[in-house]
Amino acid sequence: MEIVGKKSQGLSVTTLKDDKTVIISFNDRSLNFYVTDSLKESLKETINGKIEDGYQHFVLNLDNVKIIDSCGVGLIIVANNVTSSRNCKLYLSNIKPFIVKIFEIMRISKHLAIYDKEDDALAAIKGAQ
């Protein structure tokens, strides 16, 4: 018997050309085992494509995400690795406090640029330029 999970709702992508910034929002309430396989490829393709277009800053907005498991955490790590390996920067915003706590417990929060709101991340980008 094959177990079929729900399909991912995908990503929403907004580009800010002047700041060389891409805002990527997850449309799923859960970043879990059922959706991360399809999201991983989509996220990597989006980031790599935008880097080829000259973008350097990537904001992952997790406002819609209410649940995350280890696969979802792995997705965030993949995004961080892809951006850092290409000399770009990843910023996380709008993360629920318990997800931040998960990052702290896993000791990965120190490797991530976490901001309360998307505007805070955008302000940090403007300050870094």
Whether residue 5 has pLDDT greater than 70: no
Burial 40-79 (b: 16+ CB within 10 A, else e): beebeebbeebbeeebbbbbbbbeebeebeebbbebbebb
pLDDT band at 98; cut points 50, 70, 90: very high
The CATH number of the domain where 47 resides is what?
3.30.750.24
Tell me, yes or no, whether 1 lies in a domain: no
Tell me, yes or no, whether 119 lies in a domain: yes
Tell me, yes or no, whether 65 lies in a domain: yes
pTM of the model: 0.90
Domain extent, residue 52, equals: 11-128
31: Cβ–Cβ under 8 A, 6 or more apart, which residues?
39, 62, 65, 67, 68, 69, 71, 72, 75, 76
Tell me, yes or no, whether 4 lies in a domain: no
Tell me, yes or no, whether 2 lies in a domain: no
* Averaged pLDDT for residues 94-108: 95
Tell me, yes or no, whether 5 lies in a domain: no
Tell me, yes or no, whether 6 lies in a domain: no
Whether residue 83 has pLDDT greater than 70: yes
% residues pLDDT > 90 (the chain): 84
